[in-house]
A and B are shown apart, each in its own frame.
Chain A
């Protein structure tokens, strides 16, 4: 079945450091891939997405490239800010099989950025 594995946290960085959060997936079809972010006490916000191989999603300085050959969708940011502190979720949606549009999430990675 479909699944998402992302690196365990917490990830602790200083402001302006480079961020990478690893995400790999298993899918039987051709999934769309997403990164969502959750701030304390809030729901999930869509950060970026990619719908096919080699697509690069980007938003607010964050980037992730859909790598079919390595089944990965790693999240990166060149210079993190304190305001980026949150929980980040990698997810996939595979409409080519019975799973429909249900999002399958990784366990989440907590990012803490200090000034």
Chain B
């Protein structure tokens, strides 16, 4: 089975712009979660989607949003980018949202200048 894929792998944006990141889960997986990884804050949970519904949300401002499509693919959007949004954004998929292990993609490295 193909693993979790994320596009693009690298992205450079300017402060104030917005960005959309994409994630395709492992075939058959219906739950997609997003995490932000930074040197200072480590790995932090952003949100989780299951069957096109947001089931759980971390402690991030409303500039961070996401959605899931009927084929379980997910996108996350960050509006009005700030320098502090520079991070590795990781997507993870799992079979359901009931405690199954999560499998991670390679991440999208976002740099905000």
For B106, give the chain A residue with the smallest CB separation: A43
Beta-carbon contacts under 8 Å, A31-48 to B: 32, 34, 36, 42-46
Stretch at the interface among A12-20, A74-82, A100-108: A100-108
Q: B107 touching A43 by the CB < 8 A rule? A: yes
- What mask results when residues 87 to 115 of chain A are scored 1 for a CB within 8 Å of chain B, else 0? 00101010100011111111110000000
Which chain B residues lie closer than 8 Å to A106 at the CB level? Answer: 42
B42, A101: Cβ atoms closer than 8 Å = no
**Chain B residue with the shortest CB-CB distance to A95:** B99
Q: Compute how far the CA of A49 lies from the CA of B99 in the bound complex, rounded to whole angstroms.
A: 11
**Within B51-80, which residues are at the interface with A (CB < 8 Å)?**
55-56, 58
Q: Is the beta-carbon distance between A46 and B102 smaller than 8 angstroms?
A: yes
Given A43-B105, A44-B104, residue A95 in contact with residue B98 (CB < 8 A):
yes
